[in-house]
């Protein structure tokens, strides 16, 4: 009989960087000349934002934020080790990494063999030193794949009326998609990904939808936005992601294996909330969904539209829709969760354990 564990974590890239850079996304936003000065003035920010920003632009507060995130990650790793999965399915977003102008699949199962990954490739792009103080050279880790399991998963899901793409090879000459790489790195924090014992089947979800190519990974200046963006078609609807999750749940139930299902993403992202000048996440919208998740009220989640998701900067929460669909299908319940709210570290982060 199959056994399943459900987890939700973050893959926040700046967690892998030093404290002095944890608020870099906000620092970048503050250099946007088209954001009004009053909005950028910390004296007009919330009490939490002012406290986190402090006298050092978030460096001191970063240690506290990091401690909260590492506690949630450690909890999830402990649950994973107690469960000893044969395979871990991870839902994550592709931020203009594997999938670009050639094709944007709504869902794509990465049926890869074992893959060598550079843990610091994304930090290099942002020119940020790593949080471990590890030497830059010689860093790689292996993400073990499960290609046969992945192919069987795609087969089941397609036969279950949910169309799903698949891939046998990553795009060349780019870093491995950070949603998946960081999931392994963070779950294996003490070894920077090297001693993670479980194979991973990544399922890429087109979370960025109308912004996936238009904003190439998400960051945009208001000058570009105001002159009219060439938006892309939407990503899969929240309801469709939930349906994919249910189909994955049914496949896993029939697999006879011990499978961990992981949603990997932070919730509302400041840099995606145009209405709030990219200065803070839409915490109010996140709180509504967090409360509904704790109450097991999935109907509240299903009332949310694609437009609501985009306006709240909750693009990446589509990964969590997949997880919750599977949890509902399998009759699993939320056993533990934590909601980490921040104003200056770009996104709120949620951790969850379903059994
Ligand atoms: Fe992401």
Q: Taking residues 174-188, what's their average pLDDT?
A: 97
The rounded Å distance from CA 12 to ligand 1 centre is 7
Distance CA 28, CA 312 (A): 20
Give residue 107 CA to ligand 1 midpoint distance, Å. Answer: 15
In the reported structure, the alpha carbon of residue 63 is separated from the centroid of ligand 1 by a whole-number distance in angstroms of 21
Quick one: which H or E segment has residue 71?
Answer: helix 59-83
What spacing in Å lies between the alpha carbon of 269 and ligand 1's midpoint? 9
Cα–ligand 1 centroid distance for 207 (angstroms): 9
Taking the centre of ligand 1 as the mean of its atom positions, its distance from the CA of residue 179, in whole angstroms, is 5
CA of 178 to the centre of ligand 1 (A): 7
> 248-270 burial string, b = 16+ CB within 10 Å, else e?
bbbbbbebebbbbbbbbbbbbbb
pLDDT at position 280 is 98
Coil vs helix vs strand at 315: helix
Q: Using alpha carbons only, give the angle 242, 248, 252 rounded to the nearest 5 degrees.
A: 145
Quote the ligand 1 centre to 264 CA distance (angstroms): 8
pLDDT in tens, 118-171: 999 999 999 999 999 999 999 999 999 999 999 999 999 999 999 999 999 999
Q: pLDDT of 83-128, one tens digit each?
A: 999 999 999 999 999 999 999 999 999 999 999 999 999 999 999 9
Q: Report the separation in Å between the CA atom of 317 and the middle of ligand 1, taken as the mean of its atom positions.
A: 10
Q: List the chain domain ranges.
A: 3-354
Amino acid 327: pLDDT: 98
From 10, 2, 80, select the one nearest 353 (Cα to Cα): 80
For Cα atoms 137, 81, 69, give the angle at the middle one, nearest 5 degrees: 60
Distance from the CA of 256 to the center of ligand 1, in angstroms?
A: 31
Query: The tokens 């503050």 sit on which residue?
Result: 30
If DSSP codes are grouped into helix, strand and coil, which group holds residue 184? helix
Distance 50 CA to ligand 1 centre (A): 26
User: How would residue 217 be classed by pLDDT, with cut points 50, 70 and 90?
Assistant: confident
Burial of 233 (0-12, 13-18, 19+ CB in 10 A): exposed
Q: How far apart are CA 209 and CA 273, in angstroms?
A: 14
Check: CB of residue 158 under 8 Å from CB of residue 164. yes
pLDDT at 218 over 90: no
Beta carbons of 108 and 167 less than 8 angstroms apart: yes
Spell out which residues have Cβ within 5 A of ligand 1, the ion: 93, 179
Percent of the residues in the chain that have a pLDDT greater than 90, as a whole number: 99
Judge whether residue 315 has pLDDT over 90.
yes
Query: Who contacts 227 (Cβ-Cβ below 8 Å, separation ≥6)?
Result: none
In angstroms, the CA 200 to CA 212 distance is 24
Cβ distance 25 to 126 under 8 Å?
Answer: no
Quote the ligand 1 centre to 254 CA distance (angstroms): 30
How many whole angstroms from 11 Cα to the centroid of ligand 1?
7
- Measured between alpha carbons, how far is 111 from 113 in angstroms, rounded to an integer? 7
Q: In angstroms, what is the span from residue 94 Cα to ligand 1's centroid?
A: 7
CA distance 143 to 158: 26
Pair 279, 39: CB distance under 8 Å:
yes
Residue length of the chain: 355
What is 3-354's CATH number?
A: 3.40.830.10
């Amino acid at each position: 009989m199959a056994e399943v564990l459900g987890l939700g974590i973050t893959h926040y890239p700046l967690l892998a960087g030093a404290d002095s850079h944890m608020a870099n996304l906000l620092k970048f936003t503050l250099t946007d000349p088209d954001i009004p000065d009053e909005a950028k003035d910390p004296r007009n920010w919330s009490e939490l934002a002012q406290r986190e920003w402090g006298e050092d632009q978030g460096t001191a507060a970063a240690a506290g934020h990091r401690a909260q995130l590492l506690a949630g990650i450690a909890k999830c790793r402990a649950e994973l080790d107690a469960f000893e999965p044969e395979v871990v399915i991870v839902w994550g977003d592709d931020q203009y990494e594997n999938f670009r102008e050639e094709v944007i699949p709504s869902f794509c199962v990465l049926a890869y063999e074992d893959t060598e990954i550079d843990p610091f490739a994304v930090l290099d792009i942002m020119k940020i030193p790593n949080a471990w103080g590890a030497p830059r050279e010689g860093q790689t880790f292996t993400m073990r794949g499960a290609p046969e399991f992945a192919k069987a998963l795609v087969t089941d899901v397609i036969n279950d009326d949910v169309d799903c793409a698949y891939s046998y090879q990553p795009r060349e000459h780019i870093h491995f998609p950070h949603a998946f790489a960081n999931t392994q790195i963070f779950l294996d924090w003490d070894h920077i990904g090297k001693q993670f014992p479980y194979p991973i089947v990544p399922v890429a979800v087109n979370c960025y939808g109308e912004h996936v190519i238009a904003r190439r990974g998400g960051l945009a200046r208001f000058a570009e936005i105001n002159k009219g963006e060439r938006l892309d078609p939407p990503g899969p609807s929240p309801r469709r992601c939930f349906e994919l999750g249910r189909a994955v749940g049914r496949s896993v139930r029939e697999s006879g294996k011990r499978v961990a299902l992981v949603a990997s993403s932070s919730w509302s992202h400041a840099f995606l909330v145009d209405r709030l000048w990219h200065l803070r996440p839409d915490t109010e919208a996140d709180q509504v969904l967090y409360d509904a998740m704790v109450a097991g009220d999935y109907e509240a989640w299903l009332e949310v539209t694609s437009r609501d998701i985009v306006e709240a900067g909750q693009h990446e929460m589509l990964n969590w829709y997949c997880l919750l669909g599977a949890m509902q299908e399998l009759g699993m319940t939320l056993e533990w969760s934590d909601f980490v709210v921040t104003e200056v570290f770009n996104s709120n982060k949620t951790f969850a354990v379903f059994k």
